[in-house]
Structure 1
């Protein structure tokens, strides 16, 4: 189905070295250098032997479960975190609009009226007009704030994409965990029924003197050992249901699930299919979020540097001046135009300290960006290793079950022929029970490993989930 890329470790080392060298760089082009590192990362190949034929962005539909499809759709529509992310995105876009509007002249209408009395003389006046102020962005402070707001809006969009991927992966994961626990519950109940029936037969043999109480006590112990699994499975089932409820924006009691008997068996052979897996890793929302956060901090650093220089603006007024006296119909036109230069010389130490602080925050954001890339690489490679080992575990568990069940059948036949004591048969039955439960655990672990792989390579399909 797939192979691990044996060159990935060497490429990871090369990438780490490049990132370390880039981390020593600083200056006004820090953001551009980080984007160059992103381009380097995009060229790496971590899983070129994953199956790409038949790849689909809606990969969960390949499991052919209408129930799962409906749950994923509901999660994308009703998840509260996704809805909150949409509101944060709208707020970021509105904040961007506010920053862009700062390029334009600011001001408004003004109406004033006054009446004064001095030395028995009353003087009344009024004026109406419009005032404005236009800041000339000669040193790029407003432009830098616009870039910061733009980066923040892109960051909000990527956060929404990341949440959408987490919702889909979380719903699919919890759904398969629930199905696996239901299968385990079914197996345990079958074993309890079989042991109960065996105890009835064995009790009759004890009464007839053909079996000892030791045999029946050991069987009771095995029966109660199976019964102790029931509370654990029931708790796990409710936990799966509660997790799904949160993802679906519901309460646990509202989540209704049905057991699909052959769902796990039918989908174990499904390969993990991805379009351009190496590109899917580089486009992970986590990397984009860290990159836009870096760009935002870099733009804020530029704005802090620009605050060290003078603010140059033009303000003015245009309107009517109407001194109210004996002749109320007299109106005088009035206007003013005032260039202004404000330079906070005395605040220079404070502004300089603020600029240095923002520069440190930019360096921190760059380190976070590097760490995010390294973490995503590690996660993607870990997912591949986990899927490979889970596949091996599943195969070994199946072989174990095959031989344990064969041994149980042989032991049963030998016991019925009087060639084996009952305790040996009981031991063989216990081995078969444990092997069957381990086989189910291995199936679930293999399916969850596949889901984790889709999550680790979510840079492509996650972007089709949001508008």
Structure 2
């Protein structure tokens, strides 16, 4: 039997360490007092699942549905958001390469020619050669920009992991919702068929004078109540397909699904199995994204501070002057080496304001990072509580269905023996019908709660989906 233990607690030491390190990511953050924040996170206790898996991080395969496995594989290959995230990651890596290249001398071939006349005297001049400019990173501006680019590339990588987790959990959710709605549709159609048969029997009894028209009208009302549910179910089924189509990168008409009547029931006993569930939350991509955003903003703050100091560079030229004609002497060779210092003193107020603005952005990124951790903790705890309550709801719904069906059978037997009027039998049937529909809803809710738990603890398995 599936068990969920909310009494076994694991301290979030990983999150505390992450927050402590975040307070030291730059000189601006080093002086921030994070004692209260660290105390808050250290006091958070986490429930963990009893069932652990050390071999298979692809949890959806435990449901033994070839159809679901195929849908997940197709989504990971064809999802447009994942493709865009891959391109953004590639662009971030290319931008990192550009920033790293700024460490080295820049320049290239140069060539120019001019012809001018002064007081009737015509002069020609030309030069050709190679020019370079090497900016010395004495105050760390280039290093800070490289660190910002590195953080941006790591952020893009984590966004791929986050999207992969959303795609997989979204596909599983839509798939099981579709299966549940198909089961509800099957039950409704069975009830409609049973009510139509009852109406035929009742009408014959009315014609013979053994039943009243009231019984027929009440049955017709119940019949149309069930028929009114059909458009809602059909709409929900199409919405499930449309959602799957977005994940699969196709159209709803191209999504082919097959119904398995026992798929929900046989998978409700499957426990939520996670690799190192105690660490799965601290490795959530959302936390890593927020951390790298903090690192990026802190590095940009360092670069803005470095911009307050002089730019020191060395420029040079080597080539030929006036390479015109066929007689080139050694005097035509030329080279130059020019140290340069450029200090925008008059721009100091503007640069200082820019540095302060970037410092504020860095502080905001720290607040976002802390808030992300809080949100992830809340989401994970909510998922655990929701799964526990959904399991309890499912158990009660099954008991309700059992007793409602027993009452319906007893009412049917009493009616056939003439001990109960038909309206009481109809009421018992309605109770059984409502209980059956509530049982299906409880099954769907329990399955979706389990999927939400996998999503809340996606820090481990999401990293195996994209390389």
TM-superposed deviation, 1:349: 0.8
Report if the CA contact (8 A) 1:268-1:443 is conserved: yes
TM-superposed deviation, 1:260: 1.1
TM-superposed deviation, 1:122: 2.9
Q: Which runs of 5+ in 2 are unaligned?
A: none
TM-superposed deviation, 1:295: 0.3
Residues 140, 73 of structure 1: alpha-carbon distance in 2 compared, 3 angstrom cutoff: same
Report if the CA contact (8 A) 2:49-2:273 is conserved: no
TM-superposed deviation, 1:164: 0.3
* Partner Cα separation in structure 2 for residue 150 and residue 355 of structure 1: 20
1:56 corresponds to which residue? 56
1:254 corresponds to which residue? 254
2:238 corresponds to which residue? 238
1:439 corresponds to which residue? 439
Report the TM-score, using the length of structure 2 for normalisation: 0.93
1:223 corresponds to which residue? 223
2:194 corresponds to which residue? 194
* Partner Cα separation in structure 1 for residue 416 and residue 38 of structure 2: 70
TM-superposed deviation, 1:121: 3.4
TM-superposed deviation, 1:46: 1.6
1:143 corresponds to which residue? 143
TM-superposed deviation, 1:384: 0.5
Task: Determine helix, strand or coil for the equivalent of 1:46.
Answer: strand
Residues 23, 110 of structure 1: alpha-carbon distance in 2 compared, 3 angstrom cutoff: closer
1:391 corresponds to which residue? 391
2:104 corresponds to which residue? 104
* Partner Cα separation in structure 2 for residue 134 and residue 19 of structure 1: 38
Report if the CA contact (8 A) 1:114-1:125 is conserved: yes
Residues 147, 24 of structure 1: alpha-carbon distance in 2 compared, 3 angstrom cutoff: closer
1:264 corresponds to which residue? 264
1:157 corresponds to which residue? 157
2:3 corresponds to which residue? 2
Report if the CA contact (8 A) 2:49-2:272 is conserved: no
How do 1:16-95 residues align onto structure 2 when only pairs under 5 Å count?
Answer: 27-30=27-30, 46-53=46-53, 56-95=56-95
* Partner Cα separation in structure 2 for residue 401 and residue 203 of structure 1: 29
Residues 41, 137 of structure 1: alpha-carbon distance in 2 compared, 3 angstrom cutoff: same
Asked if 1:421 is matched to 2:425, the reply is: no
For residues 177-207 of structure 1, give each alpha carbon's deviation from its aligned partner in whole angstroms, at most 9, with x where no partner exists.
0000000000000000000000000100000
* Partner Cα separation in structure 1 for residue 133 and residue 463 of structure 2: 43
RMSD: 2.7
Report if the CA contact (8 A) 1:415-1:425 is conserved: yes
For residues 284-322 of structure 1, give each alpha carbon's deviation from its aligned partner in whole angstroms, at most 9, with x where no partner exists.
000000000000000000000101111100011000112
* Partner Cα separation in structure 2 for residue 313 and residue 221 of structure 1: 88
* Partner Cα separation in structure 1 for residue 318 and residue 26 of structure 2: 48
* Partner Cα separation in structure 2 for residue 395 and residue 343 of structure 1: 74
Report if the CA contact (8 A) 2:264-2:444 is conserved: yes
For residues 381-436 of structure 1, give each alpha carbon's deviation from its aligned partner in whole angstroms, at most 9, with x where no partner exists.
10000000000000000000000000000000000000000000000000000000
* Partner Cα separation in structure 1 for residue 118 and residue 364 of structure 2: 64
TM-superposed deviation, 1:261: 1.5
Task: Determine helix, strand or coil for the equivalent of 2:52.
Answer: coil
For residues 338-364 of structure 1, give each alpha carbon's deviation from its aligned partner in whole angstroms, at most 9, with x where no partner exists.
001111111111111111111110110
Report if the CA contact (8 A) 1:31-1:294 is conserved: no
Paired positions, count: 460
Residues 31, 240 of structure 1: alpha-carbon distance in 2 compared, 3 angstrom cutoff: farther
Task: Determine helix, strand or coil for the equivalent of 2:47.
Answer: coil
1:314 corresponds to which residue? 314
Task: Determine helix, strand or coil for the equivalent of 1:122.
Answer: strand
Task: Determine helix, strand or coil for the equivalent of 2:281.
Answer: helix
TM-superposed deviation, 1:329: 4.0
